[in-house]
Structure 1
Amino acid sequence: MSNHSYSHEALAWIKQRLDDADTIISEAEKTAEKLQASTREEADAALARLKASREALLKLERDLRARADALRDDVEDIQEAAEKEWVEAETAFQTFLKAAQDQAGSINDLLVARAKAQRQSWEDAQKVMREQVTHTVDKARGEFDAAIKRVSDEAEKFQARIGDAKDAGDESWKAVKSGLADARAAHDRTIQKIKDAFSKLV
């Protein structure tokens, strides 16, 4: 995978975590206001740690963006140099064709063979990439859907237990947390697989 793909992937990962942190902070602040004094202090300390983590993530995102911009500039420089070199290669090829102009049949064969090879190469590459992307996306989507269903099932069980008794107990809470962690992991794997598949297109 290219450095560009890695930086893009890392930025997407940090952005997801920042979005999560923003949602958690917003909801936690609403909940903290309703807490009793005995639990409010611990909740406020945890909320402060969460906000500090969010700020650290935000700084890391800014740093990575700056580095990605510098990397993009480097890639553009290399691409420009490669394009200039390709102009040299094409010029040399055209010079060859001119030198061999008295061999019209051979030149025609060479040009036709080159065009066919290029077209076949592009078609082969597109076919392989299309198949890989389709397979990877379908598989990742299936895994993610299964993880979301597990979380949904656990949430329904948890909600039913809360309906029966206001205090659902540690086991129910652990099951929901575990389900959410599984869903997050499945989501991350899904996104990673899709990114890996699409990075092959670049």
Structure 2
Amino acid sequence: MGDKSYPHETIAWAKQRLDELDAIISEVEKTSKDLSGSVRAEADAALARLEASRVGLQKSYDALRTETEDLKRTAEDVQNALDDEWVEVETSFQSFLGALADQADTVRGIVAARVEAQRQAWDNSLKGLRDQAAETVDQARGDLDAAIKRLSDEADTFQARIGEVKDARDASWEAVKSGLAEAKAVHDRTIDKIKGAFAKLF
């Protein structure tokens, strides 16, 4: 069941990145207005790359949404075809039972066999769901606890780095930026792991 939510999780993730990139572009544009010379040229070049990345991300995001909608329509078409075929099954079955109207014991046996097959299928389905739910809940709980601890540890580490270099320049600032990028990467991986654990539940 978690597989069904995967495209939606990816769409949500891509939308978050687009929103984040929009915020970055907006701030770069504001800041660039006050720059001049070679610094302005570098800022403009970076802004152009950001805007090109924005176009690429938007294209991928739109393609994913289109593919997801196409897949949904295909699944609906298949479901409709199955439903139509099942109407034929039911119609044929009822016609058969109608032909046996004067043979009540035979009809009763056929209907009882069908009910037993349905009950067995439901029991198997419920057992599978129960087993999967129990396993998934245990796994998700462990993954979630480990991911939250890791995220908390990384946040503490990063906060300590910020405190050490709040008045820093150049090399120290590069270390802070690197630490921020590293913490963000860990954060993203951790959030993905948490989402994956929750997705297994649904």
**TM-score, normalized by the shorter chain, greater than 0.5:** yes
Residue of structure 1 aligned with 2:161, choices 148, 155, 158 = 158
CA contact (8 A) 2:11 2:65 kept: yes
The separation in 1 between residues aligned to 2:160 and 2:2, in whole angstroms, is 44
1:79-126 alpha-carbon deviations (Å, 9 max, x no partner): 111111222233344445553633366356425523532431342233
The separation in 2 between residues aligned to 1:6 and 1:21, in whole angstroms, is 22
The separation in 1 between residues aligned to 2:116 and 2:130, in whole angstroms, is 21
Tell me the equivalent position of 1:16.
16
CA contact (8 A) 1:137 1:193 kept: yes
Tell me the equivalent position of 2:74.
74
1:44 is paired with a residue whose SS is helix
The separation in 1 between residues aligned to 2:131 and 2:110, in whole angstroms, is 31
- Fraction of identical pairs, as percent: 30
Tell me the equivalent position of 1:49.
49
The separation in 1 between residues aligned to 2:96 and 2:40, in whole angstroms, is 81
Letter in 2 for 1:48: A
Mean alpha-carbon deviation: is it higher for 69-78 or for 107-116? Answer: 107-116
The separation in 2 between residues aligned to 1:188 and 1:119, in whole angstroms, is 33
Tell me the equivalent position of 2:127.
124
CA contact (8 A) 2:158 2:180 kept: yes
The separation in 2 between residues aligned to 1:161 and 1:186, in whole angstroms, is 25
1:90 is paired with a residue whose SS is helix
Tell me the equivalent position of 1:63.
63
1:10-56 alpha-carbon deviations (Å, 9 max, x no partner): 42332232122123223444454566755333233212211221122
Counterpart mapping for 1:1-202 below 5 A: 7-33=7-33, 37-98=37-98, 99=100, 101-103=104-106, 106-107=109-110, 109-110=112-113, 112-163=115-166, 165-167=167-169, 168-195=172-199, 197=200
Cα distance change, pair 36–191 in 1 and its aligned pair in 2 (3 A): farther
Q: Any unmatched runs of 5+ in structure 1?
A: none
TM normalised by structure 1 equals 0.74
1:103 is paired with a residue whose SS is helix
TM normalised by structure 2 equals 0.74
CA contact (8 A) 1:143 1:190 kept: no
2:105 is paired with a residue whose SS is coil
